[in-house]
Amino acid sequence: MQRKDILNLIIIFMFTVLLTELSNLDLLQYRKFRRLSDSNCIRLIPQLGARGNILDRNGKIIVDNKISYDVMILPQELDNIDLVLNKLSRILGVEVKELKVAFKKNFISTSVPVTVAKNIELKKAIALGEYKVEEPSIIIMPKPLRHYPYGTLACHVLGYLNEIDRWRLTRLEDYGYKTKDIVGFGGVEEKYDYYLRQEEGGVSIEVNHRGKLMRVLGFQAPQNGKDVQLTLDLNIQKIAEEALLERKGSIVIMDPNCGEILALANYPNFNPRIFINQQPNILNRLFNNPESPLVNRAIGSSYPPASVFKIVDSCAGLELKKINNSSIFLCQGSTMIGARRFSCWDTHGPQDIIGAIAHSCDVFFYKTGLLVGAQNIHDYALKLGLGRSMGFELPYETSGFIPSPLWKKINKFQGWFDGDTANLSIGQGDCLITPLQAAVMVVPFANGGYLVNPYIVKSVGGLDLSIKKRKLVALNFRKSTINIVSKGLRKAISDSKGTGNVLSTLSVAVAGKTGTAQVPHGTTHAWFVGFFPFDKPKFVICVFLENGGPGYAAAATAGKIIEEMDKQGLFS
Amino acid sequence: MRNSFFMILILALLIAISGVFSIYSSTYQKEGVWKDIYMRQILWLAIGLICFFVMSGFNYRKLWDANYFIYGLALFFLFLVFVLGIVRLGAQRWLKFAWFNFQPSEFAKLAVIIFLARYFSRKSVDDTSLLSGKFGIFQGLILPFIFVAVPMFLIIEQPDLGSGIILLLIFVYLLYLTNVRLKYIFTFLIFLVLPMPFFWHFLRDYQKQRLLVFLNPNVDPLGAGYTIIQSRIAIGSGGFLGRGWLGGSQSQLYFLPESHTDFIFATFSEQWGFLGSLVLILMYYLIIRQGFIIAQRTQDTFGKLLAYGISLLLSIQVFINIAMNMGLAPVVGLPLPLMSYGGSSVLATFIALGILVNIDRTRNVF
């Protein structure tokens, strides 16, 4: 081969190299480079809309938004960073060091504003606005922030806002959620986040290599989130929370005729405001608190129902005709079941069903329970809404638990004994219910035999949802059953020896049942479930005090609430 | 017979016109003098065409006689730049005349090619054999290298590393073509490569930086690597059909520096895409191929070497420039012949093409 041919080949080779790389860039990596090219010159300037407000049933604001101000610095306009930060620290009253750290941490590129201080007060923002005249690199960015005028009020119903976590992001990505989005955690904020959520608008602009605006490519107005109206009544909610007196527990008040929750109070609680400032030590204290203040106890944790469960026994016995209005069992303070002695909390003598409910006689219900059988008790408990999730609107609802012989066989490899039935009859043992379930359980006795679907969101964005949610399901119990149990519940208050006699002094006729749940460690849980006014029930109430002592304490708390409601004229 | 003339003329004109379009597209939004820069390029093209026609009618054999004069003139201008050069873009490559800047290194390349072609051939028309086969190491290698090294040193010192390297490459290629013994060439290459680390210290800081950045553009994405990254983005974002004339954000919004001179290929490629770039590269190849064909069918050794030298000059410049646009070669500051803005480059290229055409035309006289 001659030298000139080799040279020819070299030239051909050189051009082949060029063409290969050209096809690599233009054909294989085209998408990547087109994206890079776009990101070079297209900038988005976001404009925030406001998240939807949360209102009470009367349209009063529970949560809304307040404008707050972020301070940002545009590095490319900056001459002397130290000078500006010094001045800023004097105006804001923040250490220069903190500002410097924030500046370093948030710096992305010279053309992107850097946030150095968040949520400053209006006064400081105005002071800064004056300084901005001489220092154009400062940007004061107004931004709507969650505002909680009532502090901790109804915090468990509302939930809080925080930066989206990994788990939520993977679930919600398809709905347009992005990293760093602020989303609701717990409560209505989480469940109705999609509606409450504002739509971020913004201007997309084309910039040149210096980041200078060339032209506006598009504008999308930010959309405010939709308002969510709750069924809560702010006044009743306030009364309920005050009545808890910083004792652990929860209170549920609902309308038995439609299922609307009027109040849902829990303690310990938290202030959703602390998630706005994001101070790590305060948040850590909250998350690590052993009392778990973030848990919505009314729906999220379950407890042994104790004597409250006797309502289930009564229904099962009466419906299955194992007992009737005139059945009488003799209470001698205790009874033998199998080889074990099961005691009553008192010696009641002969008791009929109404008296037994009123005095909460254990022996009567041991015997009724044994007549009915464990499986039937289990079935009737489920009919009354226990032991299963209600599909309530707030997240993290627990279903509670009602044991049955089959369950014991499968899970514990043990047979079911009469002792288990006796334990179940007085709501002890493995039996667990939530305060909301307890409230729902007494609803049929307040509205003449209908189970309701409890709900807490009345309307979203002005669209009334209550018609869809209002579901009254007939229990198909006999009228007499409902009447007898109601009478028993009324007698528990009106009878001088009734367990809820403390409520008899109220101006309004109350019916209800107390419960004192034994726990493995510590003081007993106190329960009270009831409804009022007895003639034409408008409210169902459940008071639960965790380790709150005897059921009497819960009844007394309920009494305070009813009294206060009466005083404020909330019965009409 | 006239085929090569028309083919080269048409191809060169097509390339030059697409160059004008690209220059217009990358400067028409700017203000002041920049706005009319494409007009100046058109003017240069017109002058270039005149040069092309003049040279195509000018018997190239006369260059043989004028050879020392041309070489001396080139050295003189290079030396003038060395002394008086004005600082621009970090490089002193221009001589400022009344209304234009004259860049002697563009012409020096041509002068060196003419000189080498003369050196390795004889004047006698009857004896067309090459001398170099009989040359020893001094005559075949050292002496011609000294003649190349002087202008090369002046050019590199300007500093214009790209043109210097091109001179060196052409010298090596021509040595190879003139049948200088392979062992001389290899000795030469070894002596060239060995002191590389030593030369490193003589490079300007920015040259060192450019070489480092070539190895990894992300070393300094906002500094020296910026150009390579932006240029690759510009080429890649063109896609198959390109973003259309006056389209494309890389060149239109000035993300791409030097978009009308050294990086005009990226500007062109962003707007005309794979297809346009393919056609452009093929057109360059066809011109170069014409040059080789002319060289091969020329009997006269001087003409032959001159034709080879000119074709090589074109191909190396095109290759290095486009490779540099794609990030395959370091950024050395070389114009793309016929396309990049710049009078000296346009004139030198058209003169070279004119000589090429004339070689083919005169060949038949013998």
Instruction: Find the mean pLDDT for residues B174-198.
Output: 82
Residue pairs between chains A and B whose CB atoms are closer than 8 Å = 108
Q: By CA distance, what is B289's nearest residue in A?
A: A8
CB under 8 Å to B50, separation ≥6 — which residues?
none
Cα(B327)–Cα(B96) distance, rounded to whole angstroms? 32
Instruction: Find the mean pLDDT for residues B76-87.
Output: 75
ipTM at complex level: 0.89
Extended beta strands in B168-303, E state: none
Q: Which helix (H) or strand (E) holds B249?
A: helix B249-252
CA–CA–CA angle B163, B166, B167 (5° rounding): 90
A539-556 tens-digit pLDDT: 999 999 999 999 999 999
Interchain CB distance below 8 Å, A30 and B322: no
Q: Which helix (H) or strand (E) holds B31?
A: none
Q: Containing domain of residue B227, as a range? A: 3-363
Tell which B residues from 35 to 74 touch A, by Cβ distance under 8 Å: none
- Please state the pTM of the whole predicted model: 0.61
- What residues of chain A score a pLDDT lower than 70? 1, 76-77, 108-112, 209-212, 572
Q: Measured between CB atoms, which of A8, A21, A34 is closest to B237?
A: A34
Confidence at residue B1, expressed as pLDDT on a 0 to 100 scale: 46
CB B111 within 8 A of CB B119: no
Long-range (24+ apart) CB contacts under 8 A made by A461-470 are A461/A52, A461/A195, A461/A226, A461/A227, A461/A228, A462/A226, A462/A227, A466/A231, A466/A258, A466/A260, A469/A259, A470/A258, A470/A259
| Any A CB within 8 A of B184 CB | no
CA distances in angstroms from A280 to A147, A220, A290, listed in the order given: 20, 35, 18
- Give contacts of B274 with chain A, Cβ < 8 Å: 22-23, 26-27
B267-310 tens-digit pLDDT: 999 999 999 999 999 999 999 999 999 998 888 888 888 999 99
How many domains are contained in chain B? 1
A275-315 tens-digit pLDDT: 887 788 888 998 899 888 999 999 999 999 999 999 999 99
Greater pLDDT, A133 or B131: A133
A22-63 tens-digit pLDDT: 999 888 888 888 888 887 777 777 777 889 999 999 999 999
CA–CA–CA angle B226, B229, B230 (5° rounding): 80
| Any A CB within 8 A of B249 CB | yes
Confidence at residue A471, expressed as pLDDT on a 0 to 100 scale: 85
Interchain CB distance below 8 Å, B236 and A18: no
- Give contacts of B240 with chain A, Cβ < 8 Å: 26-27, 30
- Give contacts of A34 with chain B, Cβ < 8 Å: 236-237, 239
Instruction: Find the mean pLDDT for residues B159-171.
Output: 86
Greater pLDDT, A208 or B346: B346
Q: By CA distance, what is B175's nearest residue in A?
A: A3
- H-only helix segments in A216-352: 234-244, 274-277, 280-288, 297-300, 310-319
Confidence at residue A118, expressed as pLDDT on a 0 to 100 scale: 81
CB under 8 Å to B288, separation ≥6 — which residues?
A11, B311, B314, B315, B318
- Give contacts of B133 with chain A, Cβ < 8 Å: none
Confidence at residue A109, expressed as pLDDT on a 0 to 100 scale: 64
CB A302 within 8 A of CB A281: no
